[in-house]
Amino acid sequence: MNSNPLLLPFNTPHGTFPFDQIRVEHIKPALLQAMDEEKAEIATICANTEEPSFANTIVALERSGSRLETVTTYMYNMLSANTCDELDTVAEEMQPVLSQHHSDIVANADLFSRIAYVNDHTDKGAMSQEDRMLLETTYSTFIRSGAHLPEEKREQLRDIRARLSQQTLSFSRHLLNETNAYRLHLTDEADLAGLPALQKTQAKAKAEESGLEGWVFTLHAPSFVPFMTYAENRALRHRLYTAYHTRCMHDNADNNEGVVKSIVNLRREMAQILGYTTYADYALERRMANTTERVFDLLSQLVEAYREPALKEVEEVAAFARQREGDAFQLEPWDFAYYANLLKKERFNIDADMLRPYLPLDAVIEGIFGLATRLYGICFRPADHLPVYHPDVKAYEVYDADGSYLAVLYTDFHPRASKQGGAWMTNYREESDFTQRPHVSLTMNFTPPTADQPALLTLGEVETFLHEFGHALHSIFAKTRYASLSGTNVYWDFVELPSQFMENYATDPEFLTTFARHFETGEVLPDSLIERVRQSRTFHAAWACMRQVTFGLIDMAYYTLATPFDTDLRTFERKASLPAQVMPPAEEACMTVQFSHIMSGGYAAGYYSYKWAEVLDADAFSLFKERGIFDRATAECFRHTILENGGTVPPMSLFVAFRGREPRIDALLERDGIRS
């Protein structure tokens, strides 16, 4: 009898993963069996002697491979959230096998023949919107995978995809290795000048973990960002900045220069085999922006509106630094966060750490869950009876306003060596058939608690929580028949609308006062402090925008290449980002080798989508501002149009259904203080 828990029914509440039973050694055999099962399911579809139909071909294909989806979901989520050397080894071995398996399916001539027949012989006008979208998406997926090409070309694509899978996995592993490997070990307390007590305490604890005296700082965000913001010691800021921005550029096994070139060239080759000039042309075909011209038009509009204000902001910081340090002082990249923070504090009498005592994590959780209750009527009940994959993880059951069950939500808030950096939302199970409810996870790297204090967040971390929570709501509210069109399975440049929309609440006084209380005294966050925060919101908004546009330009530069790439990475990225440059980059820095979003994270030719979605979210939130930011009717409209429909309706149609018109940039410019 098979004892592999990944191959048995999940006898857990709501069918959640039995994390406490699954071991690394279960993954490979489960993957092999699940692939065999999907092959058999595909063979059954192809052997069907009935005329190909939407039901016996398109829906049957949609339902196939469910076990493989389960096993790969587990493996990839653990690689991001709770990996180990053994799991890395299994993933590295199985990645090309999985890639080959997928390639074999989309290259199956008999299967594609049936799909093409259904596409050509179905009255699409008589289909429901969701069925029509599934048919169009399925047919397009096979065409974009090369199913219509000669065998020689399909074989080339299979090889490219296998190599690409391997390279993206290597990129992520190298970056995690380099991030974990570095530590700044200090033994002189004078070197900590300027750092808040919380950062000192955490650095002390980190040193003790390593069996060291003194303090240890790392390249993980909760350690790196505060050090760059507060540390008075310029030489140490330079050292830590250099360590961070040269990750994966060293002459060692974790160097990503060759990996980047391979990824960029493989994606270009794949697109050109499929008949596209560049990878961006291929990627944008299934995006809301649709063309490279529209992406560059957006980036150009942003440069035109924001670059001059951003240059003034940088000069303002440089002048402030010279005023403090002398006329000969030259502002460098490792100085900017430090002096910008001092200037912000002088102007508004505020810095990020001033709010920490009022933002203990438990209260923030209560506040953000409470916001969802206020907008949509849903509630979150702790579910300690559900198994989790790490002691840091907490599970909740989510219920709708009418008491019906909606979803399982996992939260995982703090850094650890087994977890990738950053913050993300993912699914352990997608919604489908209106009845299989989703299992959603929020994974962060927030400031951890100390021996004598709870986890105290910055307002930026609260915004991150709201952002990822917006993604979670997109999945929690999903209401579709097909898992592949459910929740966040939408165009990349639309997926950030629900997440960035939620960030608008971060500085609202009525929202903050529902939960923001001093962790020791219970004092409510003072109105005067909230007002200073609100006034400071547009501080360096132009600089922040240009930083995002810089990343977008670098992304598009790589993926609009039509010829093989073998250029020095630093030279290439600096030329690409020049239109948005407002401060010369550090000579030794290289963004590309750490740019996991566009190399291994799914945002290739898609990083612009953050700014695209900002236009959407600012415009959408402006309707709430007109009607009341907690207006239940407007929230219900947002839920039923944007959140429930997933990828079943073209995104522009969904936005127009909610807003009454296509999006405009005006609300973003107003929010950022660029225009009144």
Q: Give the catalytic positions in this structure.
A: 468
Report how far residue 276's alpha carbon sits from residue 267's, in angstroms, rounded to the nearest whole number: 11
Give the burial class of 451: count Cβ atoms within 10 A of its Cβ; 0-12 exposed, 13-18 middle, 19 or more buried: exposed
Bridge partners (DSSP) listed for residue 215: 186
Residue ranges with strand state E in 515-637? none
Report how far residue 436's alpha carbon sits from residue 425's, in angstroms, rounded to the nearest whole number: 19
**Residues in contact with 394: Cβ distance below 8 Å, sequence separation at least 6, in sequence order:** 382, 384, 388, 410, 411
Report how far residue 521's alpha carbon sits from residue 514's, in angstroms, rounded to the nearest whole number: 16
Contact, 599 vs 609, CB < 8 A?
Answer: no
Listing DSSP states for 408-451 in one string gives EEEEE-S--TTS-SS-EEEEEE--BTTTB--EEEEE--PPPP-S
Report how far residue 499's alpha carbon sits from residue 488's, in angstroms, rounded to the nearest whole number: 10
Contact, 463 vs 617, CB < 8 A?
Answer: no
Report how far residue 280's alpha carbon sits from residue 259's, in angstroms, rounded to the nearest whole number: 19
Contact, 513 vs 630, CB < 8 A?
Answer: no
Give the burial class of 641: count Cβ atoms within 10 A of its Cβ; 0-12 exposed, 13-18 middle, 19 or more buried: middle
- Closest residue by Cα to residue 246 from 550, 586, 554: 586
Which residue is associated with the tokens 């609308």?
A: 497
575 token code pair: 């030329």
Report how far residue 551's alpha carbon sits from residue 302's, in angstroms, rounded to the nearest whole number: 13
**Residues in contact with 190: Cβ distance below 8 Å, sequence separation at least 6, in sequence order:** none
Torsion-angle region of residue 540: left (phi > 0), alpha (psi -120 to 50) or beta? left
Q: Terminal CA-to-CA distance of the chain, rounded, Å?
A: 70
Report how far residue 157's alpha carbon sits from residue 140's, in angstroms, rounded to the nearest whole number: 16
Report how far residue 612's alpha carbon sits from residue 301's, in angstroms, rounded to the nearest whole number: 11
Three-state DSSP at 218 gives coil
Report how far residue 638's alpha carbon sits from residue 501's, in angstroms, rounded to the nearest whole number: 10
- CB count in 10 Å sphere of residue 568: 10
- CB count in 10 Å sphere of residue 490: 24
